[in-house]
Structure 1
Amino acid sequence: MNYKIVFALLLFLGTFSIEAQNISNIARGQRGYSPPPRATEAGEPEKPDVNQMSIEKATLYKEILGIDVFQKEVLRTYLKDYYRARVDIDYDPELKFEDKQKLINAEQKKFEKALKEVFTEDQVEQILTEEQFGNRAKEKKKKEKKAKRKKKNKKG
Structure 2
Amino acid sequence: MRYLFIIAITLFSMQSIYAQYGYGRGYGGYGGYGRSRMGSMMGASQTPQGPTEEPPTAAEIAEERLPDYVAEFELDPFQTEVLRTYLEDYFNKVMGLQKDETKDAETMRKDFERMQNEFKADLKSILTEEEVEKLIAMDFSNSAVRKRKKNRDN
TM-score of the alignment, normalized to the shorter chain, above 0.5: yes
Instruction: From the superposition, tell whether residues 109 and 90 of structure 1 become closer, same or farther in structure 2 (CA, over 3 Å).
Output: same
Partner of residue 99, structure 1: 107
> Percent of counterpart pairs with the same letter?
29
If asked which structure has higher relative contact order (CA below 8 Å, sep 6+), I would say 2
The answer for the alignment partner of 2:87 in structure 1 is 79
What count of residue pairs does the alignment treat as equivalent? 100
Identify which of 74, 78, 87 aligns with 1:66. 74
One-letter identity of the residue aligned with 1:114: D
C-alpha contact (below 8 Å) 1:47/1:87 kept by paired residues: no
Structure 2 SS opposite 1:90: helix
> What letter corresponds to residue 87 of structure 1 in structure 2?
M
Secondary structure of 1:118's match?
Answer: coil
The answer to whether the 8 Å contact 1:59/1:72 transfers is no
Residue 35 (structure 1) shift: 3.0
Match of 1:146 in 2: none
Residue equivalent to 2:130: 122
Structure 1 stretches of 4+ with a deviation exceeding 3 A read 133-136
What is the match of residue 49 of structure 1?
57
Cα–Cα, structure 1 residues 47 and 89, in superposed 2: closer, same or farther, change >3 Å? Answer: farther
Q: Could you list the runs of 5+ residues in structure 2 that have no partner in the other structure?
A: 1-40, 46-53, 149-154
Alignment partners' CA distance in 1, 2:131 and 2:141: 16
Tell me what 1:112 maps to: 120
Hey, what's the Cα distance between the residues in 2 that align with 1:69 and 1:91?
33
Residue 115 of structure 1 aligns with an amino acid whose one-letter code is L
Aligned-partner Cα distance in 1 for 2:133–2:57:
25
For 1:124, give the aligned amino acid. V
Task: Please give the TM-score of this superposition, normalised by the length of structure 1.
Answer: 0.55
Q: Which has the higher helix share?
A: 1
> Which of these two proteins has the greater Rg computed from alpha carbons?
1
> SS of the residue aligned with 1:126?
helix
Q: What is the root-mean-square deviation of aligned Cα atoms in Å?
A: 3.0
